[in-house]
Amino acid sequence: MTSKTASLILSGLLLSGASAFSISPAMAAAPVQAPVVTGLPDFSDLIDKVGPAVVNIRTTERVQRNQGVPGEEEMQEFLRRFFGGQIPRGRRGGPQAPGGTEEQQVTRGVGSGFIISSEGFVLTNAHVVEGADEVTVTLTDRREFKAKVLGADRRSDVALLKLTATNLPYLRTGDSSKIRVGEWVVAIGSPFNLDNTVTAGIISAKSRDTGEYLPLIQSDVAVNPGNSGGPLINMRGEVIGINSQIATLSGAYNGISFAVPIDEVMRVADQLKTSGKVTRGRLGVQISEVTRDVAESLGLGKARGAEVSMVEAGGPAEKGGIKVGDIILKFNGQAIDTTRDLPRVVGASKVGSRANVTVWRRGTQLDVPVTIVELQDDKTAATRPVPKKPAPAGVANALGLVVGDITPAQRGELGVDAGVLVENADGAAATAGIRVGDVISQVGNTPVTSAAQFNGLVAKLDPKKPVALLVRRENVSQYVVVKPRA
């Protein structure tokens, strides 16, 4: 083969390959056009403007200390050295307390905060001032003020302080609902007691869930102990959040930090200013996530809403007519996409107000009116005993279940109106987590009334499709997805 022939063959292959993978103009998709990054921002003018409104917060606590204990000073010194200076050294000469003890002021910690009005209102984290007997606020010009704690809310980790001063520098609040992932932000605070330390980064994620009432802003801004309570600031000089948490294995910055959105903060601060506490609404239900398999089995289409796994006896949900097994889809017209959405919208509701709750129940969408009550401290729910029955010699159905009818006495004991009692679980049911003593009250969207009816429903199931069973264990119900065996 001549070199000319080889060249022609190679050219033919290349042309053929180009033709085989060519895309017509009608089929071609336009490439994503990204803005050109021409340089990094300069934060110096921004910091000059907002820095004076960021404050250092020191807290102290009055403690009782026994006098004259041999070796006490040596032990305290040992602890201070061992724990790296974290054990505070008390001051002698405090007022004498009864019983041979003296009262002294000890430093509890250092945090950050920021002024939100010229009249001296300051925002910080609740955990910064928790347990403090005295709070000292220091401005960048070295002026110091004794601050009064107007109120602190542990659920949102927000506290509001008041300084006796006027004409103070203050920060403007932004709109945290309009933040964008990737935009530049700045944090100012006192990490490790280093006042007015500035760090910068970008917003990494919005609405990051780490708690019921905290859809946090995630950023890669360096935040360390002492930054707590300081502001997260956008490029317009507006506060969009309070730096509150870090994800860390060492106790120091590890690349991920979280801030409470300023919209949430200001709602809390308004209540703290008015009444010194935060009042939240309560529905009186326990909820769980709706999986894709459960949604498909119940006819919801896609996974959405919050599954009601328990209804508090005598609570607003029970009085309104919400039932175990309902899927809450909307609250006052606002869509509930995940279980995390419901506590927030209910918590933001006014106590005593009437709310319209849209639920999915046995294949039908219903509106249930509920009167919202005040959320109290968490209480541990009492569990009901499960009746013990010996495993029978019955034949398991296609789900691997042997069930029996529930007697009237057992209904009262279990707190159920209907359903069947699981006497043996094997195969697919056992794999799904169903066990002896569970109560099954629903197959898909059909309520269960007897063992015979339950077995009849199971016999008609499509073995190629999973089915959701509403299963009650102790005082909690949940949909469990099981695939019938052929």
Rounded alpha-carbon distances, angstroms, from residue 298 to 264, 359, 449? 35, 12, 18
Are 173-275 and 401-482 equal in CATH topology? no
> 277-333: per-residue pLDDT in tens?
999 999 999 999 999 999 999 999 899 999 999 999 899 999 999 999 999 999 999
Q: Looking up tokens 């505070």, which residue turns up?
A: 88
> 85-133: per-residue pLDDT in tens?
444 444 444 444 455 556 666 677 889 999 999 999 999 999 999 988 9
Q: Which of 231, 219, 222 is nearest to 189 (CA)?
A: 231
Measure the CA–CA gap between 423 and 95, rounded to whole angstroms. Answer: 69
Domain ranges of the chain: 51-162, 173-275, 281-374, 401-482
The CATH code for residues 281-374 is 2.30.42.10
Q: What is the pLDDT of residue 340?
A: 85
Question: What's the CATH fold of domain 401-482?
Answer: Pdz3 Domain (2.30.42)
> What is 173-275's CATH superfamily?
Trypsin-like serine proteases (2.40.10.10)
Q: What is the pLDDT of residue 265?
A: 94
Centroid of chain to Cα 376: 18
Q: Write down the catalytic residue from 228, 297, 309, 441.
A: 228
> Is-catalytic flag, 127?
yes
* 228 assigned to a ligand binding site: yes
Q: Which residue numbers in the chain have pLDDT < 50?
A: 1-23, 27, 77-97, 379-393
370 contacts 353 by C-beta, under 8 angstroms: no
Other C-beta atoms closer than 10 Å to the C-beta of 250 total 7
Measure the CA–CA gap between 478 and 310, rounded to whole angstroms. Answer: 8
Q: Per the structure block, which two tokens stand in for 255?
A: 């690349």
Rounded alpha-carbon distances, angstroms, from residue 386 to 324, 403, 424? 18, 15, 14
* 226 assigned to a ligand binding site: yes
* 230 assigned to a ligand binding site: no
Q: What is the pLDDT of residue 315?
A: 92
Would you state the CATH architecture of domain 51-162?
Answer: Beta Barrel (2.40)
Burial bucket for residue 349 (CB in 10 Å: 0-12, 13-18, 19+): buried
Q: What is the pLDDT of residue 391?
A: 46
Q: Write down the catalytic residue from 112, 156, 157, 190.
A: 157
Q: What is the pLDDT of residue 381?
A: 40
Element (H, E) at 319: helix 316-320
> Is-catalytic flag, 367?
no
Query: Torsion over CA of 210, 216, 218 and 224, rounded to 10 degrees?
Result: -80
> Is-catalytic flag, 118?
no
